[in-house]
């Protein structure tokens, strides 16, 4: 029986994770994307500013859900736990090649919200530990509350914790996923699309399929029935499209963009450190590993479309981080700047859109976009949800065809 074909739009961390898992689930998969991962060092910051994945940190920082916070955070926390488990498996199986590093995550908060204050000694969010759910969230690996003597010296931090976590070097990691996908028979098409449903009109050749035999038995690549992706019965051979385009490619009033400025420095760091300041600003570092230096950041600026980095902001980010975690300096006076980074997080009010839709006249589209500042953190959880929904759709169609 031929494999069902699924087309994934997007080769950022979300599209690649979905494509790899769909392959593992037995689908034939083609990725269609405007941008593909490449070496970070030669990625053009202006031309590729709307391709978010190169500009991420990228680390896993737990965001505990809480009844006082939007409910999608409960789902997203489950996605991040699933991602942690798969990152651990990948890291252990491919320690030198996958671009993943396991290390300590340290958090300092000047004004912690209830979601932090309610964390149990194992890091279980209070909403779950107190619920009667048969499926409580597990504790966070290596979680420990810090004592005040471990806080930064400026005296403004009032709460802190540490846990085991992971960081990736984004383009090493995404290139690893891309190579794995291609090696297992995945096909690629470099193409800019206007809408997800456009995929159902791509030709068989564009999707990497052989031409259909013409009705008389001979293959005829020039006839329209053999060159477009619909079979002789008019049905598309594309069983499902996964919309992992970052910003969505569909009108969505909930989509916004959050600019982020960070700075890549040459120094390594022994932990990924995040500080939430009382004024709402953030001070953090993300060691990229694999000779990639460390990201020091960073800003979160909704609606700011300026692609240029600000020298003043850079100076402030570096100063604040060195004060928070002087260990990164290794006794030197200042950090060694390699590059400023400006990226655009595809943010969605109400949380990422992870849901399927049948588009009349086209077919089934599974949306997986709007990951904001958490695409790496949630990637495998989202990909598992995508495979589950595609399976459900395909099984439903097959059951319908048998009636
Ligand atoms: C400064 C900064 C720091 C960050 N730090 C972290 C972090 O520490 N941890 C974390 O988890 N996340 C972090 N993020 C967020 C993370 O980088 C994003 O959530 C993630 O990269 C989004 O991935 P994506 O695959 O959804 O989108 P993208 O990476 O943007 O990929 C979208 C894909 O769709 C394709 N596409 C788009 N439009 C079209 C079209 N019209 N036609 C064809 N193809 C199209 C693109 O070419 C690309 O292949 C950070 C982001 C920034 C900017």
Q: Is 299 in the pocket of ligand 1 (CB under 6 A)?
A: no
Residue 288, pLDDT score: 98
Positions in the chain short of pLDDT 50: 129-132, 220-226
Q: Tokens 């990226």 sit at which residue?
A: 343
Look at ligand 1, atom 50, and give the residue with the nearest C-alpha.
Answer: 56
Confidence at residue 130, expressed as pLDDT on a 0 to 100 scale:
46
Distance of CA 332 to the CA centre of its chain: 34
52 labelled binding-site residue: yes
| 260 Cβ below 6 A of ligand 1 | yes
Alpha-carbon dihedral 76, 45, 95, 142, rounded to 10 degrees: -40
Domains of the chain: 5-53+174-251+351-402 (3.40.50.720), 101-166+255-347 (3.30.9.10)
Check the annotation: does 160 bind a ligand.
no
Cβ of 58 below 6 Å from ligand 1: yes
**Considering only CA atoms, which residue is closest to atom 37 of ligand 1?**
245
pLDDT confidence of residue 96: 87
Ligand 1 pocket check for 204: Cβ under 6 Å: no
Please enumerate in sequence order all residues whose Cβ is within 8 A of that of 129, keeping only pairs 6 or more positions apart, or say none: 120, 136, 137
Category of 297 on φ-ψ map: left (φ > 0), alpha (ψ -120 to 50) or beta: beta
Backbone angles phi, psi at 270, to 5 degrees: -85, 0
By C-alpha distance, which of 260, 51, 27 is closest to 174?
51
Strand 363-369 with 353-359, pairing: antiparallel
Give, for ligand 1, the residue of 309, 343, 375, 386 to mutate: max count of ligand atoms closer than 8 Å to Cβ.
Answer: 375
- Where are the alpha helices (H) located in 259-373, listed in sequence order? 311-324
The response to whether residue 370 sits with its C-beta less than 6 Å from ligand 1 reads no
Q: How far apart are the CA of 403 and the centre of ligand 1, in A?
A: 42
- Beta-strand pair 159-168/294-297: unpaired
15 CB within 6 A, ligand 1: yes
* 50 C-alpha to ligand 1 centroid (Å): 8
pLDDT digits (tens, 9 = 90+) for 317-327: 999 999 999 99
In the numeric block, which tokens belong to residue 303? 């609606």
Percent of the chain with pLDDT over 70: 91
**Whole-number pLDDT of residue 8:** 98
Ligand 1 atom closest to Cα of residue 368: 26
pLDDT of residue 123: 85
Distance from C-alpha of 102 to C-alpha of 91, rounded to nearest angstrom: 8
Instruction: Report the distance separating Cα 92 and Cα 196, nearest Å.
Output: 36
């Amino acid at each position: 029986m031929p494999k069902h074909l699924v087309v994934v739009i997007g080769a950022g961390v979300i599209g690649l994770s979905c494509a790899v898992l769909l392959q593992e689930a037995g689908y034939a998969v083609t990725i269609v994307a405007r941008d593909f991962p490449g070496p970070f060092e030669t990625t053009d910051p202006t031309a590729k500013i709307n391709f978010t994945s190169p500009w991420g940190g990228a680390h896993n920082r737990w965001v505990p859900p809480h009844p006082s916070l939007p409910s999608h955070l409960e789902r997203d926390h489950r996605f991040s736990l699933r991602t942690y488990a798969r990152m651990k498996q990948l890291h252990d199986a491919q320690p030198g090649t996958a671009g993943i590093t396991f290390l300590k995550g340290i958090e300092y908060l000047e004004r912690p919200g209830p979601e932090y204050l309610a964390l149990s000694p194992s890091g279980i969010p209070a909403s779950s530990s107190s619920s009667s759910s048969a499926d409580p969230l597990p504790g966070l690996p290596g979680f420990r509350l810090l004592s005040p003597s471990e806080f930064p010296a400026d005296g403004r931090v009032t709460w802190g914790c540490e846990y085991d976590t992971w960081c990736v070097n984004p383009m090493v990691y995404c290139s690893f996923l891309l190579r794995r996908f291609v090696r297992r028979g995945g096909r690629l098409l470099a193409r800019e699309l206007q809408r997800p449903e456009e995929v159902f009109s791509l030709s068989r050749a564009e999707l990497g399929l052989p031409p259909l035999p013409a009705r008389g038995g001979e293959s005829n690549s020039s006839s329209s029935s053999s060159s477009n992706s619909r079979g002789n019965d008019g049905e598309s051979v594309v069983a499902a499209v996964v919309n992992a385009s970052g910003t969505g490619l569909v009108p969505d009033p909930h989509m916004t963009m959050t600019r982020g400025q960070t700075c890549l420095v040459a120094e390594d760091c022994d932990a990924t450190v995040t500080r939430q300041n009382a004024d709402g600003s953030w001070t953090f570092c993300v060691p990229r590993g694999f000779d990639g230096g460390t990201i020091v950041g960073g800003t979160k600026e909704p609606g700011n479309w300026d692609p240029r980095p600000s020298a003043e902001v850079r100076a402030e980010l570096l100063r604040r981080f060195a004060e928070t975690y002087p260990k990164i300096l290794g006794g030197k006076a200042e950090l060694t700047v390699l590059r400023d980074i400006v990226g655009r997080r595809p943010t969605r009010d109400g949380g990422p859109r992870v849901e399927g839709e049948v588009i009349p006249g086209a077919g089934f589209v599974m949306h997986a976009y709007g990951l904001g500042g958490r695409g790496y953190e949630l990637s495998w959880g989202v990909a598992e949800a995508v495979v589950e929904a595609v399976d459900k759709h395909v099984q439903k169609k097959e059951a319908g065809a048998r009636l």
